[in-house]
Chain A
Amino acid sequence: MSTEVIEKVEVKKETEALFSKKRKSLVSNPMDSDNPITIQVLGICSALAVTIALQGTLIMAFAVMFVVMMANVVISALRNTIPNRIRIIVQLVVVATLVATVDQTLRAFAYEQSKALSVFVGLIITNCIVMGRLEAFAMGNKPWDSLLDGFGNSLGYAWIIIAIAFVRELLGAGKLFGFQVLDKAWYTANGFFATPAAACIILGVIIWILRARSGYVED
């Protein structure tokens, strides 16, 4: 399916600047108008499950960033040698290797956090952002572009999950990064925000705000 795209890119001569306008938009578009979570609807599972506290969320965001960028580069470098029929398995094995690296690193240096994230580090493998970017972008573009695309998309993912975690930790526990910011004397922690169901509703509201701003309407 992506062969046409590949050919088109191959024909073009390498004259583009390292940070041309098009390449900048690869990073900036996913932040807003092409956001992986709110527009492309990818990577929802982890967005809902890991966002109970900011610290874990940040670790998750960095883990996803590492995996998306590296996987994009590797697959993009291999794109002309991967047979089309087994490309999903090849992609999954590359991603799984990267995720195993991240998981082992977390266990070595941040054991408590890795325990708290439990299966969700492993589930980066099936995080649709990773597979979605590999299929939609890395299979048809050069490594440097793919790296930028991965960076942009993981940033777009990161700011949304950090926003959700901010609201959830602030209202759910009165804390930010584990420090008490809302005084217990007048603020009673609202257990509602600690449940993943609240994450769903917060995400719904974020999407509502973003779309009201951009005027995007789904039918």
Chain B
Amino acid sequence: MENLLNIFVKSIFIDNMIFAYFLGMCSYLAVSKKYKTATGLGAAVIFVLAITVPLNWVAYNYLLKEGALTWVSESLADVDLEVLKFIVFIAIVAAFVQLIEMIVEKFSPSLYNALGIFLPLIAVNCSILGAALFLPTREYNLAEATTFGIGSGVGWFLAVVSLAAIREKMAYSDVPKPLRGLGITFIVVGLMAFGFMSFAGFKLPF
């Protein structure tokens, strides 16, 4: 349990998807103009990460890893399908996002209105695939992987919402003309990343 809490806090603050790895920047910059849309996309990212990371974990550990197929037959012990991890991971993410979109559209129109337009964007959000690609290098079990997925999503949510809040305020300031929009946003993100770097020195008590 303590271990899970550790992973959760670590993936939100210390290994923040945006400020430590810079994953999912495209949609991060594109939707952070308004606080409301940022909240919507952030929530969708948490949701999708919480589902696809465990799914990809299962695919990796029972299908792709060397010797993962022993549950089918002992003779497959030295089959290594790791080459296929990109295709499998992205297919799982894309298919799942499509599926979720259809389910949400059918059963919860209000949720669909809130999240629906963001779901297709998420299939190509690097943070989703990035989280999956971190799995082989970190030897998590299923519970840890799920926690890592949720934590990364929360971290992304936090980052996008805070940037949107800053950008809304920034509309009132007199930024030099060529720097307006993208330029100043990058500089703000850089400064925020410095802020988050201070978390790297944290020693978690457990």
Partners in one complex: yes
What residues make up the interface of A, taking CB atoms closer than 8 Å to B? 38, 41-45, 48-49, 88-89, 92-93, 95-97, 99-100, 103-104, 118-119, 122-123, 125-128, 131, 195-201, 203-205, 207-208, 211-212, 215-219
- Asked if B183 and A100 make an inter-chain contact with CB atoms under 8 angstroms apart, the answer reads no
| Chain A, Cβ-Cβ closest to B23 | A45
Are A88's CB and B94's CB within 8 A?
yes
Q: Is the CB of B87 within 8 A of A197?
A: no
**Chain A residues, CB < 8 A from B85:** 122
CB contacts (< 8 Å) of B197 on chain A: these are 195, 197
**Bound: A107/B191 CA distance, A:** 35
Q: Which residues of A contact B98 (CB under 8 A)?
A: 88-89
Q: Is the CB of A44 within 8 A of B94?
A: no
Q: Does residue B91 face the partner (Cβ distance < 8 Å to A)?
A: yes
In the bound complex, do residue A204 and residue B87 qualify as a contact, i.e. CB atoms below 8 Å apart?
no
Known interface pairs A45-B26, A219-B180. Does A126 touch B137 (Cβ–Cβ under 8 Å)? no
4 pairs of A and B residues whose beta carbons are closest in the complex: A218-B181, A200-B190, A204-B186, A197-B193
Contact B190 A197 (CB under 8 A): yes
Check B95–A123 contact: CB distance below 8 A.
no
Q: Are A123 and B130 in contact (CB under 8 A)?
A: yes
B26 & A41 in contact (Cβ 8 Å cutoff):
yes
Complex-state Cα separation, A128 to B26, whole angstroms: 7
Please tell me which stretch of B67-75, B118-126, B152-160 contacts chain A, meaning at least 4 of its Cβ atoms lie within 8 angstroms of it. B118-126
Consensus secondary structure, chain A interface: helix
On whether A96 and B187 interact (CB within 8 A), knowing A48-B25, A125-B129, the answer reads: no
Bound-state Cα–Cα, A95 to B123, Å: 14
Q: How far is the CA of A69 from the CA of B29 in the complex (A)?
A: 25
Known: A118-B137, A122-B133, A123-B23. A207 touches B124 (CB 8 A): no
**Which B residues are CB-close (under 8 A) to A197?**
19, 190-191, 193-194, 197
- For B87, B98, B120, B180, the residue with the greatest tally of chain A CB atoms inside 10 Å of its CB is B87
Question: Are B26 and A201 within 8 A (Cβ)?
Answer: no
Complex interface: chain A residues within 8 A of B134 (CB): 119
Contacts A89-B95, A123-B129, A207-B186 given; indicate if A45 touches B90 (C-beta within 8 A). Answer: no
Instruction: Say yes or no: A207 contacts B129, CB within 8 Å.
Output: no
Distance (whole angstroms) from the CB of B93 to the closest CB of chain A: 8
Instruction: Establish whether residues B182 and A218, one from each chain, have CB atoms under 8 Å apart when the complex forms.
Output: yes
A/B interface sample: 29 pairs, CB < 8 A: A45-B22, A45-B25, A45-B26, A45-B126, A49-B22, A88-B98, A89-B91, A95-B90, A96-B91, A97-B87, A123-B130, A123-B133, A126-B126, A128-B26, A195-B193, A195-B194, A197-B193, A199-B22, A200-B193, A201-B186, A201-B187, A201-B191, A204-B182, A204-B186, A207-B182, A208-B176, A208-B179, A211-B179, A217-B180
A119:B180 contact, CB within 8 angstroms: no
Q: How far is the CB of A125 from chain B (nearest CB, A)?
A: 5
* B180: A residues at CB distance < 8 A: 217-219
Contacts of A122 in B (CB 8 A): 85-86, 129, 133
Contact with A along B168-206 (1 / 0, CB 8 A): 000000001111111111110111011001000000000
| Smallest beta-carbon distance B60→chain A, Å | 13
B24 close to A (CB within 8 Å): yes
Q: Which residues of chain A have C-beta atoms less than 8 A from B177's C-beta?
A: 217
Q: Does B83 contact A (CB under 8 A)?
A: yes
A75 → chain B, closest Cβ, in Å? 14
Query: Smallest Cβ distance from A156 to chain B, in angstroms?
Result: 15
Known contacts A204-B186, A218-B181, A218-B182; A196 and B22 CB within 8 A of each other: yes
B84 located at the interface, meaning its Cβ lies under 8 Å from any Cβ of chain A in the complex: yes
Residues of B within 8 A of A199 (CB): 22, 190
Partner of A93, one of B91, B125, B176: B91
Asked if B1 lies at the interface with its beta carbon under 8 angstroms from chain A, I say: no
| Pairwise interchain contact B26-A43, C-beta atoms closer than 8 A | yes
